[in-house]
Amino acid sequence: SRGLRGSSAGKPQPSLPLCLCAPAAGMLPAAARPPCDDNLCNVPQAPPSSPSKRGRKENAGRRLLFGEPPAPGSPEKRSETGPSPRHQGQETPRSSEPARLFRQEGSCYQQAKRVLHTAVPDRLPARERETGVITRFLREHVGGERPSSLYISGAPGTGKTACLSRVLQDCEDELARSTTIVLNCMALSSSQAIFPAVAEQLGLPAAAGGAGREVVRKLEKRLTAKGPMVLLVLDEMDQLDSKGQDVLYTVFEWPWLAGSRLVLIGMANALDLTERSLARLQARPGCRPQLLTFPPYTREQLASILQERLKQVPGDPVLDSSAVQFCARKVSAVSGDARKALDVCRRAVELVERDVRSQTVLKPRPGGE
C-alpha cells in the first residue's frame, strides 16, 4: 500500500462521489459505520414503513412507554387495559331507562271493547218505562210490606236482567231492611232444586234424603213467620218447568199465603208462561202476578244504545256512524237483541285493531333516544 501511495504522490486524484468520500450531515464516521460493500449505493435500503423484525432476545428487556412516540409506519399495539375508542368519547349515549319502541295505535280499541261489553251500564236508553215500573213495584210492595209477584217476560237481549239489576243497585238503600235473594234457575240441577237453594239462602238446613215436601213445609213456615220482607228474584224462571207445573204453582202461591212476607219477581223469555202453563193462576185473581213485557229493540233504540256506549271512548269515534246504523238496522230486523248488536260491534273493533297492529310502523321514542 505504501508503494501505491508513493506512486500516486504528486498526481492529481480524481474526485470521488460525495456519498463515498465526504460524510453527509448526520452520518457516522467511516470507522463507526458497520462493514458494508465497497459501494453503499448498491446496498438495498429497506422501506421506512417496514422495519426489520427483531428476535425475541433483542426485544428482551425493552419496555414500551406510553409517552414514547410510535415508530413510523408501525402502529402502536393497543393495550389490553387501555381505554377503547368507545370509552374515549365515541360511546353512544345511553338512557337510564331501557330503550323501547312505541306503536302508533293507542288504547282506544281496548276502551271501545270495554264499553261494548254486556255488563250493566249506568244508564239504560230506551228502557225508561220498564225501569220505572220495576222501581214502583219494589217501593210499593217491598217498602210497603205488601206481598205480591211480578212476572217479567221478553225475548233474549231485550234488557230484562240489565234493567232489574240496575234498579236493585239504585234502590239498595231502600232494600237494606229486607232480605234479597237472587237465583238463576239455569244453574239448578233440576226444578226441585229450587227449594233447597232458597232454604239455604234463608239459613234453613236442607232436608236429608231429598224430602222435597219437608223443605217446602219449612220454607212456608219461615216465609209466614214474623220478620223482614223477603225479595226473591228468579231469573230464567221457565227452567222450573216440571210435570204438572207443581214447582211453578208452589212458588207463585207463596206470596198469597196467610201472613206471607214474600215479594216474588220472576223473569223468563216465554211471553205467555203464566197464561199457557199456569192456567190455575188465572182462575184465582188473588194469585195472578203482575205482568211486564219487554219488547224487542227497534233500529233507533239499538243505534242509541251503541252510540251511548261509544261516546265514552275519548278522541275520534272508533266506529263510523254509518257502520253503527247499519249494524242496528240488521240486528233489529232479525231479533232486536241488544247483546247481539254489542257483540257485532265489539267483533268489528277487534278486526280493525288486528289490521292496525299488522300495519303499524314502529317509531323511535320521543327525544331521539
End-to-end CA, the chain: 86
- 187 — phi, psi (to 5°)? -85, -5
pLDDT tens, position by position, 224-266? 999 999 999 999 999 998 888 899 999 999 999 999 999 999 9
Cα separation, 295 vs 155, whole angstroms: 7
pLDDT tens, position by position, 32-88? 455 544 444 454 555 555 555 555 544 444 444 444 455 555 554 444 444 454 444
Q: Is-contact 146 262, C-beta < 8 A?
A: no
pLDDT tens, position by position, 263-281? 999 999 998 888 777 777 8
CB atoms within 10 A of CB 243: 7
What does the pLDDT read at residue 51?
52
Q: What percent of the chain has pLDDT over 90?
A: 48
Per-residue cell: 112: 271501545
Nearest residue to 36 via CA among 25, 48, 45: 45
Mean pLDDT taken over the chain: 77
Q: For 106-122, b where at least 16 C-beta lie within 10 A, e where not — what string? A: eebbebbbebbeeeeee
Cα separation, 299 vs 82, whole angstroms: 78
Cα separation, 160 vs 152, whole angstroms: 7
What does the pLDDT read at residue 295?
96
What does the pLDDT read at residue 104?
40
User: From the centroid of its chain, how far is CA 144?
Assistant: 46
> DSSP label at 107?
S
pLDDT tens, position by position, 115-154? 898 777 888 889 999 999 999 999 999 999 999 999 999 9
> DSSP label at 243?
G
Please name the residues in contact with 235: beta carbons below 8 A apart, sequence gap of 6 or more. 161, 182, 183, 184, 185, 186, 267
Cα separation, 79 vs 64, whole angstroms: 11
Q: Is-contact 303 338, C-beta < 8 A?
A: no
Q: Is-contact 204 222, C-beta < 8 A?
A: yes
What does the pLDDT read at residue 318?
87
